[in-house]
Structure 1
Amino acid sequence: MISILYELRVKMKLHKGYRVGMLLMLFPLLLPWKGMKCQSSNKNTIRVRQSATVQEGLCITIPCGFTANYKSTFRNATGLWITNKNVTVASSNPSYTRRKPNFLITGNPNNGNCTLTITGAKKEDSGSYFFRFKEPSASQVDYNSSVSVQVTDLKEKPKIWMPDELIAGKEVKLGCVPPGNCPGKPRVQWKKSNVVGTWMKLAGFSFTPTQNDHQKSVTCEVITLTGKIITAQHILSISYPPANMKITISSSTGRNIDLNGTIVISEKEFLILNCSVEANPPARVFWNKSNHIKQDNTIAEGMIWSAINITEPNIYRCFASNKYGINETFMDIKAEKDLQQRPEVTIATLNCIMCNFN
């Protein structure tokens, strides 16, 4: 480094206009990587972050690069991660005994890569770790720069993904993304509130929602490498056309209506028709009536209709529609006014004084 700066100083004296350009070119080389600690000497260098935090049960990869004896490529090299008590926790050579099976050197030391991966982190994995390099043709190198690993409580949850719109009868894809970016196939299972037991055992799958799935919950359960279960839940909103339509009839007087025969309506009575319908989004409801003489005509809108003028047999139809479809149901009502009702008779008593009945 001293020789480089000396050479730069000489050139700057010879060429005054050369000064700024050379400083801009060499300035990045004089800085360490962002977030990483650099141990540097003429022979050996290492670049690795100073600290790393991972939640319990999850995984983390810590990038690391090094040189040894002025070189960054080697043959038959061995990389080791050790504790400050000289205990090996990870090794690129399977013949070495390592204390922590969940610590893995995922970089290739022959290429100057000392990247460390921790899977299924445990609280006892918290601590400081150092890299050691061995090459058959040279003595081992112990690097003073360490990485401090901290394992915190598990707070992350899986993420459920699905289309923004779910339509009854249309196939969609559901997925559950576990946190932590752990290698290998995640252990995932699904539950649905209208299904008994486990619904699915796949991270991603296709299914066709129905009207019965509306407002039901789906839950993704992820089992971490340490055996803990973390969950995420989503309430399904299923769009579907009007369905399950039904007309009911009642009297304004509160009396029971017998639909098996003709409904006799008293003078001051009227019938109330109610059309129930299930739809998402809510449906627009309107009424028609028809008989053998008159053509269909719209007579009212809304789920409840007070049928004041029902005085003859007729077919009353309830229609419901939304953006996904239209449906209808009907009721054949036989009704007539009670023509046998007699007018009220008021009997008055007269007190007669001096009356002549002859």
Structure 2
Amino acid sequence: MEYAKMGKNWNTRTITARDVTKKIILNNSRNCGLTLSNMKIKSYHHLCYYQILLFLISHLVRGIESQTYPGYSINVSSHVTVQRGLCVYIPCSFTVPTTETLTGIAVGIWYKWRKTPVASNNRSFSSNGRFFLTGDVQRGDCSLYIENPLYEDGGSYYFKVEDNIRFNYQDIMSFIEVTGLTDKPEISPKKSWLEGEKVTLSCTSPGRCRGITPNITWKGNIHNFETNNHVINHENGTKTHFSNITFTSRREQNNSILSCTVQLEGRLTTKQEITIKVEYPPRPPEIKCSIISKDSNELQSNKDCAMDANNTIYPLQGSSLSLSCSADSVPESSMMWKSFSETKTFSTMHKLILANLSRANEGIYMCQATNIYGTSNTSVTIKVASQGASKTFIATASRGGVFAAVIIVTGALLIQFFRKRKKMPDNTKLQKSHISNNDAIYCNIEMSPKNFRMNPTEQAESTQTSGL
């Protein structure tokens, strides 16, 4: 008869006294010489017969007990895995005989094998804060919820019902395995953004638990951003926690790392990273030039050439010039070289080679970069110089440099001479200057009775004048 049945995708078990007996006999046949084919026993010691008989009697009694209580069954997963810091919901249902009816005061209890109870719907039961019986026992629901378990919580668990009947469903137990935290938060959406676009990303914490409130943080090459935390409450009492970050995309953020870290209880952390993809039109292309030359062994070599501030190059006549062009853009731009003097396209590649240069190659060359977001270009002017003109130019430049140096030195000496002359006193003027007898001399002399004395003649003259 069927004693316990597992649910969908679970194994179906039939437990009978005959099955148990065969299992015990198989386990002990090697030591006691027992053969199942003809059920003959060849024993070397009489003690083996007593052992087998004892096992047979005990398991026959068990089988009778199972057959004595038909209608009792439980439907629960035989193996469940839960991570540290997270939670798990274990669906469970059980039945009792049709002759029995569970009442509203029916009590369900989950036990750890050979240990104390861990969860119950009895209000007076003191929970450890990690195991919860969430099912309606009266309706045959024995579902178990586990949250933030410890490693020592791993083991086998069985269910017991107490009402007008009492029954332990010990033959079908659920083994709970507690592992480390491996689940990562989820960042969405995963896509590319156009430069300057407003971006909003969400980071969802792993697990839909009831009493766990994670701390969610962001880190990356992001400036002037805004974050908001949200909670979604589900009908079964569980919650989903997530955080949004909003910022404006910039090309400097392309291929940079953005991470979301979730911290759970017990300082447990888990992190997820994404690579930001920002697309943008091409920047003005950068042009580099080099002179292609060959040695006596016909081996080719490139030598960088000079380009002035006006993007003008002066290659020698007969030389070969290589122009390379690159532009920063996402997605990558297609490159094209055009000549304004000949109004035609020279190359659709990033490199343009002009061999055996002559006056006909002079003109303006433009490099154009194009992707789906726009076009940008940069131009360069080529002026071909002949070999003789180059030597004349060098000689002229040398003579001009010497002449310029002479002018500079002469000017410096003249400036120094006039500065010294300006500082010298004008003795000639001082010698020629004289004071005429007819000139009036005004002095501001401070008179003091102590320091001023008149002779007797001057004093008499002064008295006569005063009398007048």
| Structure 1 and Structure 2 fold alike (TM over 0.5) | yes
- Bigger Rg, which one: 2
Question: 3-state SS of the aligned residue for 1:340?
Answer: helix
1:327 and 2:375 aligned = yes
Aligned to 1:83: 112
Q: Which moved more, 1:328-337 or 1:305-314?
A: 305-314
One of 322, 334, 337 as aligned partner of 1:284: 334
Q: CA deviation at 1:289?
A: 2.8
Aligned to 2:253: 213
1:131 and 2:159 aligned = yes
Q: CA deviation at 1:101?
A: 0.6
One of 306, 323, 336 as aligned partner of 1:256: 306
1:191 and 2:238 aligned = no
Instruction: Report Cα offsets for 1:97-146 as digits up to 9, x if no partner.
Output: 12x211111212232211001112220111222323344xx355443343
Aligned to 2:285: 245
Q: Which moved more, 1:250-259 or 1:228-237?
A: 250-259
Question: 3-state SS of the aligned residue for 1:110?
Answer: helix
Q: Structure 2 CA distance, aligned partners of 1:69 and 1:254?
A: 95
Aligned to 2:143: 115
Q: Structure 2 CA distance, aligned partners of 1:50 and 1:131?
A: 13
1:106 and 2:134 aligned = yes
Q: CA deviation at 1:336?
A: 4.6
Q: Structure 1 CA distance, aligned partners of 2:12 and 2:261?
A: 36
One of 157, 170, 183 as aligned partner of 1:144: 170
8 Å CA contact 1:191, 1:200 repeated in 2 = no
Kindly tell me: are residues 225 and 36 of structure 1, through their superposed partners in 2, closer, same or farther at Cα, counting changes over 3 Å? farther
- Unpaired runs of 5+ residues, structure 1, are 2-27, 344-358
Q: Structure 1 CA distance, aligned partners of 2:204 and 2:260?
A: 9
What letter corresponds to residue 215 of structure 1 in structure 2? N
Instruction: Report Cα offsets for 1:5-52 as digits up to 9, x if no partner.
Output: xxxxxxxxxxxxxxxxxxxxxxx9995533477997346443323332
Pick the structure with more strand per residue. Answer: 1
Q: Which moved more, 1:332-341 or 1:117-126?
A: 332-341
Q: CA deviation at 1:340?
A: 2.9
Q: CA deviation at 1:269?
A: 4.1
Aligned to 2:352: 305
Choose between structure 1 and 2 for higher RCO, CA contacts under 8 A separated by at least 6 residues.
Answer: 1
Q: Structure 2 CA distance, aligned partners of 1:261 and 1:320?
A: 18
Q: Structure 2 CA distance, aligned partners of 1:336 and 1:122?
A: 81
What letter corresponds to residue 230 of structure 1 in structure 2? T
What letter corresponds to residue 318 of structure 1 in structure 2? C
Q: CA deviation at 1:274?
A: 3.0
Kindly tell me: are residues 149 and 334 of structure 1, through their superposed partners in 2, closer, same or farther at Cα, counting changes over 3 Å? closer
Question: 3-state SS of the aligned residue for 1:280?
Answer: coil
Task: After TM superposition, list the pairs within 5 Å mapping 1:158-169 onto structure 2.
Answer: 158-163=185-190, 165-169=191-195
Q: Structure 2 CA distance, aligned partners of 1:188 and 1:38?
A: 49
Percent same amino acid among aligned pairs? 25
Q: TM-score, normalised by structure 1?
A: 0.68
Kindly tell me: are residues 225 and 140 of structure 1, through their superposed partners in 2, closer, same or farther at Cα, counting changes over 3 Å? farther
Q: CA RMSD in A?
A: 4.0
Kindly tell me: are residues 48 and 57 of structure 1, through their superposed partners in 2, closer, same or farther at Cα, counting changes over 3 Å? same
Kindly tell me: are residues 244 and 238 of structure 1, through their superposed partners in 2, closer, same or farther at Cα, counting changes over 3 Å? same
Question: 3-state SS of the aligned residue for 1:320?
Answer: strand
Kindly tell me: are residues 270 and 104 of structure 1, through their superposed partners in 2, closer, same or farther at Cα, counting changes over 3 Å? same
Q: Structure 2 CA distance, aligned partners of 1:301 and 1:332?
A: 17
